[in-house]
Structure 1
Amino acid sequence: MAMHSDNRDAGELIPLAGSLDPQCAIRVTDLGKAYRLYQQPLDFLKEIITGKPRHHEHWAIQNVSFEVLRGRVVGIIGPNGAGKSTLLKIIAGLLDATTGRVEVAGKLSAILELGTGFHPDVSGRDNIVLGGMCLGMTRAEIEAKVPWIIDFSELAEVIDQPFRTYSSGMQARLTFATAISVDPELFIVDEALAAGDTAFVNKCMKRVRQICESGATVLFVSHSSGLISELCDEAIWIDKGRVLMHGNAQGVSKAYEQSVWDIEEARNLRETKKVSQSIENTVRTGKYELGGKDLRVTSVEIVDADGKAVGVVRNGDTLRIRIFWAGLTEHTQIYASLRIDSPRLQAVAGIEGYDGGIFLDADGHMPERGSVVYEIPELALGEGQYYVSASLCRHMLPKGGEAILHYLEGAAQFSVSRRSLWHFSYLYDPKFTCHVETE
Structure 2
Amino acid sequence: MLHLSSGCFVEERAALMDIQSSLMRARSLGVTNSWGEDGDDCCSWERVKCNSTTQRVSHLDLSYIFVTSSHDHWYLNSTVFSALHELEYLDLSNNYPCSLALEGLVVLSKLRYLDFSATTQGGGFPEFLGRIVSLEVLALNGNYMTGALPSTATENLRNLRQLNMSFNSFYGDLPESLFALPTLNLGVNQFSGSLPAYLFALPHLEILNLVSNKLSGALPNEQAFQILKNLRELYLAINQFSGNIPAFVFLLPHIQQLDLSYNCFGGQILINQSSNLPSSFKALQLSGNNLSGRFSFIWLRNLTNLEVIDLSGNSNLVVDGHIPGSIPSFQLKVLLLSGCDLDKNIIAEPHFLRTQRHLEMLDLSNNNLSGSMPSWLFTKESTLQYLNLGNNSLTGSMDPRHTQPYLSTIDIHMNQVTGQLPDNIGSLFPRLSVLNISSNN
Q: Do they fold alike, i.e. is TM over 0.5?
A: no
**Superposition TM-score, scaled by structure 2 size:** 0.27
Select the structure that is richer in strand: 1
Select the structure that is richer in helix: 1
**Superposition TM-score, scaled by structure 1 size:** 0.27
